[in-house]
Amino acid sequence: MTVLTEKIIIYGAAGILLIAVIYLYIRKLRRESKIVDDKIRLAKEEGLYEPVSLHPVINPNSCIQSGACIKACPEEDIIGIKNGRAMVINASRCVGHGTCFHACPTQAITLCIGTEKRGVDLPHVNPYFESNVKGIFIAGEMGGMGLIKNAVEQGRQAVDNIIRSLKIRERNVYDLIIIGAGPAGISATLEAKKHKLNTITLEQNSLGGTVFSFPRTKIVMTSPMDLPLHGKVKLFETNKTTLLKLWTSVLSKNEIEILEYKKAEKIIRQNGGFIVNTADGSQYTTQRVLLTIGRRGSPRKLNIPGEELPKVFYRLLEPEFIHHKKIVVIGGGDSAVESALLLAEQNEVTLSYRKDTFSRLKLKNNQKIKEAMASGKLEVLFNSNLMAIEENRVTIKTDGEEQPIQLVNDLVYIFAGGELPTEFLKNAGIEITRKFGEAILKH
């Protein structure tokens, strides 16, 4: 009887302990799920739930709740675990690092572009980075991968694939012409030099492409990357100046010259190769072409009276040299908000945004703009549109107000995004399709 009693007590205690552990675990899961659910609800209210470009799609049948994707992501609150499954929280804040894709132990994550509701225009590119036009390759942002690390890797891989497709070298003909000297173009140029290809790189503006247009003090979010002819580069939070110095140093060390301010205007197919015409009248003959020009192309204009005035700009390069001006910044994305915050340090700044709330900002930028608004550091006009620009003032119309307001003004900065160089691509024969949730990276 004593033995039986002891067994009952032991097994009973073990059972109670097991039930307690399970109860605490379930309660913990429910508490964490509620937190994630609240974040998702807030993201929907703030317009951050719908992805705007590359983003993870998680297969619930493969997810094992390891949390590896959450730990790997350099951003905050992109993915969370709800009811035992990983799911996207702030999809519009995803910038395409792709670390979640590689970190998932069960390969439950696919990186997709666009959604069922919101399509994204992209040129046709196969897994080897070749477009529908045989001999023209595309890498980097225009192909859907905009992060610096990803662009660098794609530039290298594209050149490796181009090498396999090259014919016997021809006299007076380049093996490869690279159009665009951003992260993908620089990487491709270095990889081409490594393999001793007869190559030139054309850039319509300055070395660095989109990176060059960033403000001098803007933090470039990146991660370790392998740069051809240089090796591993460990950069996590660095500014544009540091990154450009690195690229300039590596190019100089390897005796590579980028042809800056050489805008490619037309690509003509000829005898199995191509002729590239530039805006200054130059003409180059090549076997292969690699496009690394980015999705932004030319800045999108508002097409309003006065937009051609010299006081209007589409990028901010050196805000530290702008003092005591009355400035209007147009836009609601990260570029507009970052520029407005930088300019507000020494100027009187008004930010005009056509929507009623910021919906596409990185977490840090969202926090900073809210603090600046609360402290009166800068003024934000939501639901507003710039109607006209004059020498000494601007006219802004706000929804719900009968009369537009006029502001005394010295400078205008417009950040309305960029326009995909559609005509340039179409003239080369490249097909552009709208992607509605199509997988860019999958296992």
pLDDT computed for residue 134 by the predictor: 95
Q: Would you say residue 158 has pLDDT above 90?
A: yes
Residues 6+ apart with CB under 8 A from 204: 180, 261, 262, 263, 264, 279, 293
Closest CA to 389 of 408, 372, 369: 408
Over range 66-92, report the average pLDDT. Answer: 85
> Bigger pLDDT: 233 or 390?
390
User: Is 231 within 8 Å of 225 (Cβ atoms)?
Assistant: no
Find the range with the poorest average confidence among 135-144, 202-211, 376-385, 430-439.
Answer: 202-211
pLDDT computed for residue 334 by the predictor: 87
Residue 411 pLDDT level (bands cut at 50, 70, 90): very high
Cross-strand pairs, 260: 203
Half-sphere exposure of 206 (CA within 13 A, CB side): 9
Residue 304 pLDDT level (bands cut at 50, 70, 90): very high
User: What six digits make up the tokens of 224?
Assistant: 């370790």
Using one digit for the tens of pLDDT, what is the confidence trace for 20-72?
Answer: 888 888 888 888 889 888 888 887 776 667 777 778 999 988 999 888 999 88
User: Is 254 within 8 Å of 228 (Cβ atoms)?
Assistant: no
Q: Would you say residue 164 has pLDDT above 60?
A: yes
Over range 371-384, report the average pLDDT. Answer: 96
pLDDT computed for residue 222 by the predictor: 54
Find the range with the poorest average confidence among 139-148, 166-175, 176-185.
Answer: 139-148
Over range 113-135, report the average pLDDT. Answer: 86
For residues 250 and 238, give the distance between their C-alpha atoms in angstroms, rounded to a whole number.
Answer: 17
> Bigger pLDDT: 271 or 277?
277
For residues 125 and 287, give the distance between their C-alpha atoms in angstroms, rounded to a whole number.
Answer: 18
Q: Would you say residue 413 has pLDDT above 60?
A: yes
Secondary structure (3-state) at 226: strand
Residue 74 burial by Cβ neighbours in a 10 Å radius (0-12, 13-18, 19+): middle
Q: Would you say residue 395 has pLDDT above 60?
A: yes
pLDDT computed for residue 219 by the predictor: 52
Find the range with the poorest average confidence among 82-86, 133-137, 383-387.
Answer: 82-86
Using one digit for the tens of pLDDT, what is the confidence trace for 322-372?
Answer: 999 999 999 998 889 999 999 999 999 999 999 998 877 877 888 999 999
Residue 295 pLDDT level (bands cut at 50, 70, 90): low
User: Is 176 within 8 Å of 290 (Cβ atoms)?
Assistant: yes
Secondary structure (3-state) at 313: strand
Residue 265 pLDDT level (bands cut at 50, 70, 90): very high
Beta strands in 279-339 (DSSP E): 283-291, 298-299, 312-313, 326-330
